[in-house]
Structure 1
Amino acid sequence: MTKRHLISTLALGGATALALSGCASGAEAETLDNGDRQDLTIAVFNGWDEGIAASELWKAVLQEQGYDVELEYADAAPVFQGLSDGDYDVTLDTWLPITHADYVEKYGDDIVDLGAWNEDAKLTIAVNEDAPVDSLADLAANADAFDDRLVGIEPGSGLNRVTTDSVIPTYGLDGMDYLTSSTPAMLAELTAATDAGENIAVTLWRPHWAYDAFALKDLEDPEGTLGDAEGIHSFGSSSLEDSHPTLAGWLKDFRMDSELLYSLENAMFNENDTDDYGPIVEQWIADNQEYVDSLTS
């Protein structure tokens, strides 16, 4: 099994953006023939691989179109704050109507919903396939089989909020140690447990490459605490449709089904041991050229 080299939470992507209008120099931003400002900053949630994959794809597509694209990684809270302040132009990984609802409610007047590009997103609690439980309703009674641990991701994530506010109290999991740190840390725990043949319970979500890299099953959620399938939305700053009208139109039309997304994620994270995604994405684009051309047609 090829293991993904976990990303640095400080990673930055791509070319350095050109000076923006309003900078100290007073120089106006460059404009492309399609009317869009040439520079673009995409905010990417730390550890959320579907967003990393979509952002790297759009970075490659837009650079081919002449844009100067920068990816900036951050947790959800600073991403939405930065988007509302205009520090970021767009983010591609907002889950609605549940996971990121609090952020959209808080910053909704200063950000723009560009629509859902995938409708199959789902929050999960996953365990190793041969674990002795199949339902969240049975997890508390079998907590010792998991060393009384539930391994989570970033404390500021929507998944953490749902787990803390809904899953744990509903299923009486207060007696388990709920560990939150980061997605890479959770994946490291998952890798170690798998290699050791030990049981593990983690907070996870679909679509995610881990379902192809590890033998996992989702615990049933009879009380519906994790919600139904959600949509993955692109959100722009309040000025995006003025500064990047053509891109805003492309993102409103952007659609990517889960099979395509899985294939891109697998190429980037499961079959690749580096953080150098550029060549991997270029090859994926070449293998899916008709689809990629449709993104900006």
Structure 2
Amino acid sequence: MRKLTLIALVLSAFILAGVSTAMAKDTVELAYVEWSSEVASTNVVQAVLQEKMGYECEITPVSGAAMWQATATGDVDGLVAAWLPTTHGHYLEKVKDEVVDLGPNLEGTRIGLVVPEYVSIDSIDQINEYAEKFDEQIIGIDPGAGIMSATEEAVEEYNMDNIELMEGSGATMTAVLKNRIEDKEWVVVTGWTPHWKFAKWDLKYLNDPKGVYGGEEFISTIVRQGLKEDMPEVYEFLDNFYWAPEDMAEVMVWNQDGMDPYESAKKWISENPEKVEKWLP
């Protein structure tokens, strides 16, 4: 009897181990660019996957080019940070046959050159004339960003011979902006909407008569080929993921005020259960 009981216990252990393995979910890997907007959205997606769907989710900040390449090669499962059709359009063109475009997750975005409201010019074609007041600089972000490629084109198209595009990061760009505004100095920076800086300071986009920066943009979700077959739940959630600029702005402000981005994401999903419910498979 003892022998039979022991065998039964061993068999039960094997069965339970098998059930546990079957229930274990694969880790979802996402890439993103470290813009405040994409930190917000990627952490919200990570929080839903982990807190609501039971997946492990790893998120990795990389350059724009690396983010697209990693998705195309299948090194990551996807991204929710594709600014289209202008900012990341050249990346999509290169890998469009190797990825799956799930469409917009946020609409109403914009990119361009931004100045404080007190700056008395209104158009990009006036920058060169006032180069000295701008310290002969446009304050940019990381060199791999699509907005930097567009700004390099703008410098050429608008014959800004006296202006240098400064590379840096989103953090250095806003730090310079903050310092210049405090001193009431002129400054022009690469800008995009949504971004918390528009809530903090009175800013304006410069008109772009040559249309270098395109019109209104949207942010799309892009996934690797085969995700639908490998992780149908994850695919369906990412396909459903859609929110508004004001939703993203709320998370960005919390992050800027010092809250950990993942904690901000958890707070947002707990305060917006009806929106999150629509995303779930």
TM-score past 0.5 threshold: yes
Contact 1:31 1:38 in 2 (8 A): no
Q: Distance in 1 between matches of 2:92 and 2:244?
A: 24
Aligned match of 2:107: 119
1:102 equivalent among 62, 78, 90: 90
1:73 equivalent among 31, 52, 61: 61
Q: Distance in 2 between matches of 1:131 and 1:240?
A: 48
Equivalenced residue count is 261
Q: Distance in 2 between matches of 1:155 and 1:31?
A: 44
Q: Distance in 2 between matches of 1:290 and 1:220?
A: 38
TM-score (norm 2): 0.87
| CA shift for structure 1 position 234 | 0.6
Aligned match of 2:266: 282
Q: Distance in 2 between matches of 1:131 and 1:72?
A: 37
Contact 1:136 1:171 in 2 (8 A): yes
| CA shift for structure 1 position 32 | 5.1
- Equivalent runs, 1:1-297 vs 2, <5 Å: 37-46=25-34, 48-64=35-51, 65-165=53-153, 167-269=154-256, 272-274=257-259, 276-296=260-280
Task: Specify which structure has the higher proportion of helix.
Answer: 2
Q: Distance in 1 between matches of 2:22 and 2:109?
A: 35
Aligned to 1:119, the other structure's residue is in SS state: strand
Aligned to 2:103, the other structure's residue is in SS state: strand
User: Once superposed, which parts of structure 1, at least 4 consecutive aligned residues long, lie more than 6 Å away?
Assistant: none
Q: Which one-letter code corresponds to 1:136 in the other structure?
A: I
Contact 2:71 2:77 in 1 (8 A): yes
Q: Distance in 1 between matches of 2:121 and 2:144?
A: 28
Q: What percentage of aligned pairs have identical amino acids?
A: 29
Contact 1:114 1:248 in 2 (8 A): no
Q: Which one-letter code corresponds to 2:90 in the other structure?
A: D
Aligned to 1:126, the other structure's residue is in SS state: strand
| CA shift for structure 1 position 79 | 1.1
Q: Which one-letter code corresponds to 2:100 in the other structure?
A: V
Gaps of 5+ in 2: 1-20
